[in-house]
A and B are shown apart, each in its own frame.
Chain A
Amino acid sequence: MLMHVFAQIVLATEEGVPVPISEEADSGGGIDLLLPAAEELIAGIIAFSIVFFFVWKWAIPALNATLAARQQAIAAELESAEKAKLEAESLLTDYRTQVAGAKEEAAQIVSDARDAGESVKADIVTRAETEAEQVKVRAQEEIDSERVRVASDLKRQVADLSIDVAQKVVGSSIDANSQRELVDRYIDELGGVR
């Protein structure tokens, strides 16, 4: 059945419906293949010419423009990258100097603080020593004055006590003359003590 269809198609073309363009001899074999068909040659010339003009006038300029633009873009990109790098480097140097300065400053502050502390400590110690000395002196003075006061008190009490005792002992056994004598002497003695 399939073969029928093929045969019909072949018959149709052989009978000239639709019409073949040229009536070349079928016995030509493969040699006909080496001869160009006129309409194909013309089509080839036209098609290739169009392609050639397109490539020449549009495609190659477009390619060149694209590549040039890319080259420029890459160059600009590299330049800006270089610039950014330099900037970053200078920033880094800045920061490094700043950090170094800050470290120095910190060390200075610490040492200053230590010095200040030392001086405060010395001050305090000196003041404390002075105060202690003053306290000691005052205490000594107080002790001295107290001793004096106590001594005088004691003297007075001894005198009073002596008189009392003397009165009690002597009483009536002593006449008025000897009593006066004794008292006077005693008073003299007391005066000697004083």
Chain B
Amino acid sequence: MDELILATAECDLNENAVCAPENVKDLFEFRVEVINILGFPITRTVFLIFLAGALAIALLYFGLRKRATQPGKYQLSIEGLMTFVKDEIAVGIIGPTGIKYYPYLMALFIFILIGNVFEITPFVNFPITSRMAIPLFLSLLTWVIFVFAGFKRNGLSYLTDIIWPPGVPVFLKPLVGLIEFFSTFLVRPFSLAVRLFANLVAGHVMLTLLLSTAFISITAMLSGEIGIVKGLFGFAWWALALAIFMFEVIVILLQAYIFTLLSAVYIDTSVNVEH
């Protein structure tokens, strides 16, 4: 509840329909040090990042631990998830060489998925992927991997084919080359990071504002600080928040999928050059 309280601390329900902090940053920055381990500050967000990693490992470990020939529902779901990333993303997009990138794509998918699920997890209610550190780091990692793979596979022609693309009329080559260069090396990592980040930020803002306004309205109505009509608005916000909650379930799955898929697509364009 701390984040809700911080977000809506100065809320005056007689003036505002929806409670919002003066600075949107207040919904995302929990940089209050909870504990300090060897000089490294463990904030709530840092803790959640480590928790996401631990959960990702636990999810896979308990799914595959028994290696049963006749798997139960849980083992089957984990196997299904892993074979989905392998068959549909790694091998499906990149082709047979995609198996090399499967561990990275799998780790990416499960880590982002859990980071996203934190958005709608009770008592957590905070997606770590809405902190730029995570999407940025992961998209830069994808960038490093696809650039490295491109050079390793095609040598220097990887770069020259982008700057001076073959199969394009000569007078267009400089223009197309410039666009390609920017889109491949500058726009890709940025768009990849921002897509995930912005989606989760938006979802978190909507959910926290609506839920905290609903909470404050209803409690204020019950304590007689505001009228019943205003208080009933709280229930409306609550209902709206539940609808958005359902919507966010889709966003959470979709964004984890899209990030992983685009990483595979970028690696594919580096490894299998045909443009």
Binding site for B on A (CB under 8 A): 1-3, 5-7, 9-10, 13, 18-22, 26, 28-30, 32-37, 39-48, 50-52, 54-56, 58-60, 62-63, 65-67, 69-70, 73
Contacts and interface: CB of A to CB of B under 8 A. Distances in A.
Contacts of A56: 103, 107
A20 to B, nearest CB: 5
Contact of B79 (A30, A40, A63): A63
Given A2-B216, A47-B53, A36 B106 contact: no
B32 interface: yes
10 contacts: A6-B9, A10-B6, A30-B24, A33-B28, A39-B41, A44-B138, A51-B110, A54-B56, A60-B102, A63-B82
B147 interface: no
Contacts of B49: 40, 43-44, 47
A7 B9 contact: yes
Contacts of A39: 31, 40-41, 43, 46
Interface string B1-38: 01001101111000000000001110011011100000
Given A30-B24, A55-B107, A56-B103, A67 B133 contact: no
Given A21-B31, A48-B141, 14 more contacts: A2-B225, A5-B5, A39-B31, A42-B40, A43-B45, A44-B138, A47-B52, A48-B138, A59-B60, A59-B106, A62-B64, A62-B67, A63-B82, A70-B71
Interface string B109-144: 011000000000000000010011110111001000
Nearest to B216: A2
Category for how many chain B residues contact A: 35 or more
Contact of B56 (A33, A35, A51): A51
7 smallest beta-carbon distances between A and B, as pairs: A47-B53, A36-B133, A40-B133, A56-B103, A52-B107, A41-B133, A62-B64
B223 A1 contact: yes
B64 A37 contact: no
Contacts of B33: 18-19, 21
Contacts of A69: 67, 69
A40 B134 CA distance: 8
B41 to A, nearest CB: 5
A37 B31 contact: yes
A55 B53 contact: no
A51 to B, nearest CB: 5
A28 B225 CA distance: 33
Interface string B68-84: 11010001000100110
Contact of B53 (A35, A50, A73): A50
Given A40-B45, A51-B107, A54-B60, A33 B10 contact: no
A66 B137 contact: no
A55 B60 contact: yes
A74 to B, nearest CB: 8
A173 B195 CA distance: 184
A54 B60 CA distance: 9
A85 B69 CA distance: 23
A37 B223 contact: no
B133 A33 contact: no
Contacts of B40: 39, 42
Contacts of A18: 32-33
A60 B10 contact: no
Nearest to A21: B31
Nearest to B194: A34
A189 B68 CA distance: 137
A20 B111 contact: no
